[in-house]
């Protein structure tokens, strides 16, 4: 069918689409990228409709400049998903499309998605070269990986070791394409426990229909193995599997495990850390049905999959699934919507499920499947709150904890000290006049990073050199106050000079290669004491790690955000789960001034069920989610008065609608962290009895908001289902 009018979504902050004309257009062009004139320049957008007519006379419409036909058109179900995302999260469709598409596709560049991706294996000549090698190289590293772990896809090797190194190894004849095996066959699968078998049987019932499952399994219970068995079934049925993980740091480990288990399956890894070409190529391969498994972070929920048969969301509770800038979507929630639209099962896995998911299982919306025991010959670690109210601490560390680390060292075991604060100290201060190292652009302190000799703001990334004297009074006795991971590393190295202390935070692992190198170093037993932030709390398995000590946990107990205690419990359960995952028993110590707090009592008993019940009852009384639905209207301006004034206008426009929809609109207030990156911030809260009422209200209110002309310097956005209130 030919059409004269094309409707295009453009990446502009306006809640509308734009009509153009095009010749030789067909229904097959729906979902293709186009380059069009816009204003005084050009923009690339996406054809989202081919209407019979336009709002303007056809002769007033501008013609399309070019249509990209090198890559396949995006399918109808993908268009439906981005349209739902724009509608639910109250964001312009064009910006949602721009976020969801890989850069090269949205630039209308040609994408080479059809390149063969063979399995590569070590040749006899390569094995001989490895035995005779005297100096290491990237090509030899590839060879060693294939010898030790078996065949691997060329695309994965290129991503891990570099395209030049792969080409070098191929040219030398050290590696070569191998024979493909049956993708449904798994290599080296461990025997399932009776509990895993029972869980797998229940989850397998979901194939062929929309069935949401909550797989609640303690740390080390073998949830990943259950995922892999489900993936095996999906591939055997000729379907694709989508596996979401919360952070890039978890992708390499799971990717290696998936690729090793399904050596001939086409595995595509998608996340924001990939080069533009690799991400675009993987996206197209998945869209054309040539990828069997897609593994990635939150953005991969937008990957088009024509043969989708299974969705897995690992660590479904993790806050990383919520995007906090631009399109503020929640990938877990979109994955559930997508599973419903595609009539496929979805498995939400976690040792500490979100209270929203737990409540959904309590009320029968999800089916809960539990793994209560560890999969290997290991028991859950003993958890002990350590009362530090009357104890003298050494740079924040109690003697109880130090003695426990010493016992670990004597046994030749590893320990982890967890402090979720990177840097050397959270602030530099002057004891004479009270000066502190405040960020000039934020309502926050500049953190002392002694290794880099810098003061750094962890909110806006502003940096400065460390002053030699107080900038206000000139006193040279300025001192670090508090402690971060760098200072803790220094303290432990001084106390245990014979131990190898390894710090693991975002300063030590800024790239994927650095992160993998640290993990390999730990796995080889080249570290005795680990000092880590929340990076160490998720999904890592170190058999020799038997002790975990937690510092500064109390800071979240009484925070203003109602979700802070939930996140603290989840974090402590997760980091504590790193201990005793092998044959050796584990122990966890949590330093606290409130040892009798219900959170610590539930943690001590490994009783997530009781803690969830306590928290849900509190939320029910306070009308917090999941017993209500929330949205935030946020505004930023050079001065907070401007933001509050505009929010006041927005609230006045909302009040008649709020009464009609049964919604409450609270007064505007400054945000707790008032100043961020030279702008001051305020917000107002919208509370509704449920999501349908909230969505109906927001659809009407957002139209009014766009009609309220803000001051030139003001920026505003809506945050639906905010992670923090």
CA–CA distance, 708 with 698 (Å, rounded to integer): 15
pLDDT in tens, 8-34: 999 999 999 999 999 888 899 999 999
Higher-confidence residue of 356 and 153: namely 356
CA distance 512 to 156: 14
pLDDT value at 717 more than 70:
yes
Kindly report, residue by residue over 648-668, the tens digit of the pLDDT: 999 999 999 999 999 999 999
In what side-by-side order are the strands of the sheet with 267-270?
A: 267-270, 293-296, 240-244, 308-313, 346-350, 212-217, 367-371
Angle between helices 251-261 and 512-523 (to 10 degrees): 70
Domain 629-720, CATH class in plain words: alpha beta
> Which is it for the CA torsion 573, 578, 581, 584, positive or negative?
negative
**How many CB atoms are closer than 10 A to CB 477?**
9
User: What mean pLDDT, rounded, does the chain reach?
Assistant: 89
Q: Determine which of 227-231, 516-520, 667-671 has the lowest per-residue pLDDT on average.
A: 516-520
Tell me the range of 270-279, 351-360, 527-536, 671-680 where mean pLDDT is highest.
351-360
Contact 665, 651 (CB under 8 A): yes
- Residue 412: CB atoms within 10 A of its CB come to 9
Q: pLDDT-based confidence at 121, cuts 50/70/90?
A: confident
Q: Are 477 and 432 in contact (CB under 8 A)?
A: yes
Yes or no: say if 639 and 680 are a contact pair by the CB < 8 Å rule.
yes
pLDDT category, 506, cuts 50, 70, 90? confident
User: What pLDDT score does 347 carry?
Assistant: 99
pLDDT of residue 168: 86
Average pLDDT score over residue span 494-515: 85
- The reported pLDDT for the residue numbered 1 is 44
Q: Higher confidence at residue 492 or residue 521?
A: 492
What is the rounded CA–CA span in Å between residue 533 and residue 447?
15
Report which of residues 466 and 130 the model is more confident about.
Answer: 466
Pick the CATH number of 194-371 from 3.10.20.30, 3.40.1110.10, 3.40.50.300, 3.30.70.100: 3.40.50.300
Which residue in 46, 33, 132 sits closest to 94, CA to CA? 46
**In the structure encoding, which two tokens stand for residue 197, read together?**
């078998």
Residue ranges of domains in the chain: 4-100, 119-177, 194-371, 382-423+483-621, 629-720
| Structural tokens at position 478 | 């300025």
Tell me, what's the pLDDT at 214? 98
What is the rounded distance in angstroms from the CA atom of residue 79 to the CA atom of residue 46? 10
Q: Residue 573: in which H helix or E strand, if any? A: helix 564-576
Beta bridge partners of 311: 242, 346
Dihedral angle over CA of 290, 295, 297, 301, nearest 10: 50
Q: What is the pLDDT of residues 387-407, one digit of tens each?
A: 999 888 888 899 999 999 999
| pLDDT tens profile 550-570 | 998 888 888 888 999 999 999
Q: What pLDDT, on the 0 to 100 scale, is given for residue 511? A: 74
Instruction: Find the mean pLDDT for residues 373-381.
Output: 71
Q: CA angle at residue 358 from 356 to 363, to 5 degrees?
A: 95
Distance CA(93)–CA(33), nearest Å, equals 14
Alpha helices, H only, 262-302: 276-287
Give the pLDDT confidence of 610-629 residue by residue, as tens digits: 999 999 999 999 999 999 99
CA–CA gap between residue 245 and residue 295 (Å, rounded): 8
CB 168 within 8 A of CB 140: no
Mean pLDDT of 114-138: 78
pLDDT of amino acid 182: 47
CATH second-level architecture of 4-100? 3-Layer(aba) Sandwich (3.40)
pLDDT above 70 for 109: no
Express each pLDDT in 664-712 by its tens digit.
Answer: 999 999 998 999 999 999 999 999 999 999 999 999 999 999 999 899 9
Give residue 393's pLDDT: 87
Residue 524, classed as helix, strand or coil, is coil
Q: What is the pLDDT of residues 267-316, one digit of tens each?
A: 898 887 777 888 888 999 999 999 999 999 999 999 999 999 999 999 99
Q: Please tell me if the domain spanning 4-100 has the same topology as the one spanning 194-371.
A: no
H/E element, 309: strand 308-313
Phi, psi of 528 (to 5 degrees): -100, -40
CA distance 235 to 307: 10
Compute CA distances 447 → 408, 474, 509, whole Å: 31, 20, 18
- The answer to whether the beta carbons of residues 708 and 650 sit under 8 Å apart is yes
Provide the pLDDT for residue 480.
86
pTM above 0.75, yes or no: yes
pLDDT band at 183 (very low <50, low <70, confident <90, very high): very low
Question: Who has greater pLDDT, 240 or 487?
Answer: 240
Q: Which candidate, 504, 526, 501, places its Cα nearest to that of 515? A: 504
Please say if the pLDDT value at position 356 is more than 80.
yes
Long-range contacts of 336-339 (CB under 8 A, 24+ apart): 336/212, 337/81, 337/84, 338/81, 338/301, 338/308, 338/311, 339/210, 339/212, 339/311
The verdict on domain 382-423+483-621 having CATH code 3.30.43.10 is no
Please give the average per-residue pLDDT across 419-430, as a whole number.
83
The whole-angstrom separation of Cα 657 and Cα 326 is 26
Report the alpha-carbon distance of residue 421 to residue 503 in Å, rounded.
12
| The token pair that represents 536 in the structure block | 């160490």
Distance separating alpha carbons of residues 31 and 47, to the nearest angstrom: 5
- CB-based contact 299:100 (threshold 8 Å): yes
CB 129 within 8 Å of CB 143 = yes
| Confidence at residue 164, expressed as pLDDT on a 0 to 100 scale | 85
**Token code pair at residue 623:** 């009308």
- The Cα–Cα gap between 575 and 48 comes to 45
| 3-state helix, strand and coil shares in percent for the chain, rounded to the nearest 5 | 35, 25, 40
Q: Which residues pair with 8 in a beta bridge?
A: 18, 47
547 has pLDDT over 60: yes
User: What does DSSP say about strands 240-244 and 293-296: parallel, antiparallel, or unpaired?
Assistant: parallel
């Amino acid at each position: 069918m030919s059409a004269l009018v094309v409707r295009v979504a453009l990446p502009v902050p306006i809640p509308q689409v734009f009509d153009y004309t095009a010749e030789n257009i067909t229904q097959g062009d729906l979902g293709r990228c186009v380059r069009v004139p816009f204003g005084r320049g050009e923009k690339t957008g996406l054809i989202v409709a081919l209407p019979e007519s336009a709002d303007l006379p056809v002769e007033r419409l501008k013609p399309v400049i070019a249509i990209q036909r090198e890559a396949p058109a995006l399918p109808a179900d993908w268009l439906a998903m981005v349209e739902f995302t724009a509608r639910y999260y109250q964001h312009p469709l064009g910006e949602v499309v721009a976020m969801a598409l890989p850069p090269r596709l949205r630039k209308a560049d040609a994408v080479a998605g059809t390149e063969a991706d063979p399995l590569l294996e070590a040749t006899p000549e390569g094995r001989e070269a490895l035995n005779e090698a005297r100096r290491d190289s990237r090509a030899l590293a590839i060879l060693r990986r294939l010898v030790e772990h078996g065949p691997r896809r060329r695309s994965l090797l290129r991503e891990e070791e570099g395209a030049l190194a792969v080409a070098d190894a191929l040219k030398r004849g050290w590696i070569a394409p191998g024979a493909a095996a049956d993708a449904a066959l798994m290599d080296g699968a461990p025997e399932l426990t009776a509990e895993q078998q029972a869980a797998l049987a229940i989850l397998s019932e979901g194939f062929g229909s929309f069935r949401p499952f909550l797989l609640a399994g303690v740390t080390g219970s073998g949830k990943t193995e259950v995922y892999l068995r489900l993936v095996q079934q999906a591939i055997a049925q000729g379907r694709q599997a989508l596996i979401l993980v919360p952070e890039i740091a978890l992708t390499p480990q799971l990717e290696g495990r998936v690729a090793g288990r399904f050596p001939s399956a086409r595995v595509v890894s998608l996340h924001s850390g990939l080069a533009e070409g690799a991400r675009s190529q993987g996206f197209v391969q998945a869209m054309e049905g040539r990828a069997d498994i897609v593994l990635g972070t939150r953005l991969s929920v937008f990957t088009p999959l024509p043969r989708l048969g299974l969705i897995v969301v690992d660590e479904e509770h993790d806050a990383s699934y919520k995007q906090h800038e631009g399109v503020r979507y929640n990938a877990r929630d979109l994955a559930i919507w997508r599973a419903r639209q595609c009539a496929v099962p979805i498995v939400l896995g976690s040792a500490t499920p979100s209270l929203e998911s737990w409540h959904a299982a309590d009320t029968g919306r999800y089916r809960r499947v539990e793994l209560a025991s560890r999969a290997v010959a290991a028991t859950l670690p003993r958890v002990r709150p350590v009362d530090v109210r009357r104890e003298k601490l050494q740079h924040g560390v109690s003697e109880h904890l130090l003695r426990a680390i010493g016992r670990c060292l004597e046994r030749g075991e590893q320990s982890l000290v967890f402090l979720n604060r990177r840097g050397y100290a959270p602030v530099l201060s002057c004891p004479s006049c009270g000066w502190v190292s405040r960020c000039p652009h934020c309502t926050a302190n500049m953190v002392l990073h002694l290794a880099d000799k810098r003061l750094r703001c962890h909110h806006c990334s502003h940096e400065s050199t460390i002053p030699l004297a107080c900038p206000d009074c000139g006193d040279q006795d300025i001192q670090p106050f508090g402690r971060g991971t760098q200072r803790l590393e220094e303290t432990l190295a001084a106390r245990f000079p014979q131990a190898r202390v390894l710090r693991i935070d975002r300063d030590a692992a800024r790239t994927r290669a650095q992160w993998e190198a640290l993990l390999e170093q730990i796995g080889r037993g080249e570290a005795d004491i680990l000092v880590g932030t929340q990076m160490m709390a998720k999904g890592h398995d170190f058999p020799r790690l038997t002790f975990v000590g937690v510092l500064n946990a109390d800071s979240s107990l009484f925070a203003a955000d109602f979700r802070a205690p939930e996140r603290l419990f989840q974090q402590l359960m997760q980091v504590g789960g790193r201990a005793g995952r092998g044959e050796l028993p584990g122990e966890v110590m949590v330093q606290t001034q409130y040892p009798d707090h219900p959170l610590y009592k539930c943690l001590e008993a490994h009783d997530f069920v009781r803690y969830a019940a306590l928290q849900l009852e509190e939320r029910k009384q306070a009308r917090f989610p999941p017993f209500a639905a929330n949205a935030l209207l946020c505004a930023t301006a050079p001065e907070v008065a401007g933001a509050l004034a505009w929010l006041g206008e927005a609230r006045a426009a909302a009040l008649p609608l709020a009464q009609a929809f049964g919604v409450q609109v609270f007064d505007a207030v400054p945000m707790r962290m008032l100043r961020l990156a030279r702008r001051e911030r305020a917000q107002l809260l919208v509370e509704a009895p449920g999501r349908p009422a909230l969505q109906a209200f927001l659809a009407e209110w957002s139209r009014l908001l766009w009609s309220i002309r803000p001051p030139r310097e003001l920026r505003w956005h809506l945050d639906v289902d905010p992670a923090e209130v």
